[in-house]
Amino acid sequence: MTAVLAGAAGAVLVTGSLLTAAGLRRVEPAPPRQRRRARRATEGRWARWRWLIAGTAGLLAWAITGWPVVGLILTAAVIGLPYLVGSEKVAARSIDRVEAIEEWTRRLADVLATGVGMEQGLLASAATCPPAIGKEVASLVARLSARWPTEQALRAFANDLDDAAGDFVVASLLLGSRRRGPGLSSVLTAAAGSVADEVAARRKIEAERAKPRSTARLVTLITLTVAGLLMLNGTYLAPYGDGLGQLVLLAIAAAFTGCLLWIRSLTLATPTPRFLTDAERQP
């Protein structure tokens, strides 16, 4: 009991000192692009260090409590909780990609409205392409520059995007590459408007799905806090101290993890089926 209190007090003291030092440090607000780069760098550093941090936390919990299952649960929690309760990042990235497709389509339509040919317009679109689909557009430009047939390059572009909204835009480009007539710019503008409507609908849906995610995070936080406080009461958790109790504790943790996985699967949108697939090209 004394060792547990000493470990908890030391952890609180170190955490408080670090938070105080971070709060006293003055940081100038960074521009949006720099903030995105800093966020990606922070996520990369966490990905590199999380295994070491998780292992250290697990070994420390095992040493303090004497229960190996507690160390295993804490290690898994440090590694897996960001994945289990952070599904909104997956949804946000998906919506950002669709929005980037809409923005790229509008810019391409503006270029084609000046009388530029479709291939030349596609090559020029790489200069103003949104970052979310920059890699896919760069691959398209590289294929066209390597003298790929336009239709083949566009189908490969649709496979790179791997989204029904991308198929909708690429289908318009495929029709334009076959007919070579006027009006492709207006068709792309209309397609971009439809994609924009889809983006708005997806954002409304994700706003509703954010509510159960917040509830799951709150319940998880309360559960972990209560479990940590109960660890200070050796009498209450004494039945979990033997081998059978450790197995029961592991089963409870596994069931709780399964519930979080179920909630995550419910709050993730099912991808809209694509129609420009390899099977579609078969006669």
DSSP per residue over 67-109, as a string?
Answer: -HHHHHHHHHHHHHHHHHS-HHHHHHHHHHHHHHHHHHHHHHH
Among all chains, which residue has been given the structure tokens 């599904």?
87
Residue 244, helix vs strand vs coil: helix
Q: What is the pTM of this model?
A: 0.65
Cα angle 278-93-144, degrees, rounded to a multiple of 5 = 45
What is the distance between the alpha carbons of residues 68 and 74, in angstroms, rounded to a whole number?
10
Q: Does 5 have pLDDT greater than 50?
A: no
Residue 111, helix vs strand vs coil: helix
Among all chains, which residue has been given the structure tokens 């990606």?
40
What is the distance between the alpha carbons of residues 112 and 121, in angstroms, rounded to a whole number?
6
Q: What is the mean pLDDT of residues 30-45?
A: 47
Virtual CA dihedral for 143, 145, 147, 153, nearest 10 degrees? 30
CB-count exposure of residue 32 (10 Å: 0-12, 13-18, 19+): exposed
DSSP symbol at 113:
T
User: What are the residue boundaries of the structural domains of the chain, listed by start?
Assistant: 97-205
Q: What is the pLDDT of residue 278?
A: 61
Quick count: other Cβ atoms within 10 Å of Cβ 113? Answer: 14
Q: What is the mean pLDDT of residues 6-21?
A: 44
pLDDT band at 17 (very low <50, low <70, confident <90, very high): very low
Q: What is the pLDDT of residue 15?
A: 46
Q: Which amino acid is at 240?
A: Y
Q: Does 14 have pLDDT greater than 60?
A: no
| Share of residues in the chain with pLDDT > 90 (%) | 20
pLDDT tens-digit series, residues 115-140: 888 889 899 888 889 999 999 999 99
Q: What is the pLDDT of residue 144?
A: 92
Angle between helices 87-112 and 164-179 (to 10 degrees): 20
Q: Does 282 have pLDDT greater than 80?
A: no
Least confident of 133-137, 163-167, 188-192, 226-230: 226-230
Higher pLDDT: 65 or 30? It is 65
Q: Which amino acid is at 103?
A: E
Q: What is the mean pLDDT of residues 203-209?
A: 84
Among all chains, which residue has been given the structure tokens 């209190």?
5
Q: What is the pLDDT of residue 143?
A: 93
Q: Does 93 have pLDDT greater than 60?
A: yes
Whether residue 185 contacts residue 112, with contact meaning beta carbons closer than 8 Å, is answered with yes
Q: What is the pLDDT of residue 152?
A: 92
3-state percent breakdown (helix, strand, coil) of the chain, nearest 5? 80, 0, 20
Q: Cβ neighbours of residue 128 under 8 Å, at least 6 residues apart? A: 107
Q: What is the pLDDT of residue 42?
A: 46
Cα–Cα separations (whole angstroms), residue 201 to 98, 195, 196, 197, 214: 12, 10, 9, 6, 21
Whether residue 98 contacts residue 195, with contact meaning beta carbons closer than 8 Å, is answered with yes
- What is the average pLDDT value for the chain, to the nearest integer? 77
Most confident of the ranges 21-25, 40-44, 92-96, 147-151 = 147-151
Q: What is the pLDDT of residue 107?
A: 92
